[in-house]
Structure 1
Amino acid sequence: MPTKSGHTTAIRASRVIGTNVYNGTGDKVGEIEDVMLDKTADNIMFAVVGFGGFLGVGEKYHAIPWKLLDYDENAGGYVVPFTKEQLEQAPAHGITELTENDGRRVRDMSFSYYKVDAPAQNLY
C-alpha cells in the first residue's frame, strides 16, 4: 500500500542509510547513519541521524522517531519538522550509547523530546 506521497511502504534499510536529512526550510542537517530495530516488538525504534563532525570525529548521533521522517523525492532525502536549533538542542549520544539498555533509554529520551508516543510493545 502506498504512502500519502505515493511511495511504497516497504524499503530496504540499505537504501535508507546514507540518505540526507533536511529541516523544514530545506537546510541539510545530517544523514541517516543507521536504523535501530526492536527485534522483539517488530518495530523500528528510531533512525540514527548523524550531525556534525568530520569523518566520524566529533559527530553526534540523534535518535529521531521514524514516524517524524518524511521522504521528499524532490529533495532526495528525508525532511523533519524541526528547526536547526531544535535539532541542535535534542539529546545527542555516542554511537555505543544507542544500544545501551536495549536502546530503550535513548528511544524514551528521543520520543519525550520530540513529543511522540512510543509504540506499544509486543510481549512474547
Structure 2
Amino acid sequence: MTDTEIANDIATDETEALIASNKVEGTAVYDEDGEKLGSIYNFMVDKFSGQVEYAVLQFGGVFGIGSDYYPLPWEKLSYDVDQGGYVVDIDKETLEAAPRYTADEQPVYDQAYGERIYGYYGLNYN
C-alpha cells in the first residue's frame, strides 16, 4: 500500500464526538429560524490548550466575494444533524452589527480582542 493509499484510508470524516477540520470549514451556519447566515470559513485553535476559541463565519457578499469574516465564540455554535450545519442564537441584524474584519485585514487575536468578541455575545472570555 502506498503512502497516499494509507493516508486516504485514515478516518478524516468524523466519529460520534469528533469531526475533521476540513469537514467543518464550509459548513453552513443557520439562525434559529433556519435561515442560512453564511458558512464556517475556518476556526482558530489555542496553540497550548488545543481548544477552539473562535469559528470564523463568512457572511455577506456574493459567492464569497466581498464577504466579511465574523469571529464567533465556539460556544455559540450547536450542530444540527437534520440541517447538516451549525445553528446560532444570533439573528441577521445582530450579526451585521458584530465585530468583523475583511479579507485584507487580520485581527490580532489577543486578550483584548477575545474579551471584545466574547463580550459582544454576552459570554466571558476564558
Q: Under a length normalisation based on structure 2, what TM-score does the superposition of the two structures give?
A: 0.79
Query: In the alignment, what sits opposite 1:80?
Result: 88
Mind listing any 5+ residue stretches in structure 1 that lack a counterpart?
1-6, 120-124
Structure 2 distance, partners of 1:66, 1:106, is 15
Whether the 8 Å contact between 1:31 and 1:51 is mirrored in structure 2 is yes
Give the RMSD, CA atoms, in angstroms. Answer: 1.7
Query: In the alignment, what sits opposite 1:22?
Result: 30
Which of 93, 110, 118 is 1:111 aligned to?
A: 118
Structure 2 distance, partners of 1:25, 1:87, is 14
Mind listing any 5+ residue stretches in structure 2 that lack a counterpart?
1-14
Question: Percent of aligned positions with the same letter in both sequences?
Answer: 35
Aligned residues: 110
Query: Secondary structure of the residue that 1:53 maps to in structure 2?
Result: coil
- Greater RCO (Cα-Cα under 8 Å, separation 6 or more): 1
Query: In the alignment, what sits opposite 2:17?
Result: 9
Structure 2 distance, partners of 1:49, 1:80, is 11
Query: In the alignment, what sits opposite 1:4?
Result: none
Whether the 8 Å contact between 1:63 and 1:107 is mirrored in structure 2 is no
Aligned partner letter, 2:122: K
Structure 2 distance, partners of 1:14, 1:108, is 27
Which of 34, 40, 51 is 2:59 aligned to?
A: 51
Structure 1 stretches of at least 4 aligned residues deviating more than 4 Å after TM superposition: none
Query: In the alignment, what sits opposite 2:97?
Result: 89
Q: Which has the larger radius of gyration?
A: 2
Structure 1 distance, partners of 2:42, 2:114, is 14
Shift of 1:109: 1.9
Structure 1 distance, partners of 2:36, 2:29, is 6
Q: Does 1:63 align with 2:71?
A: yes
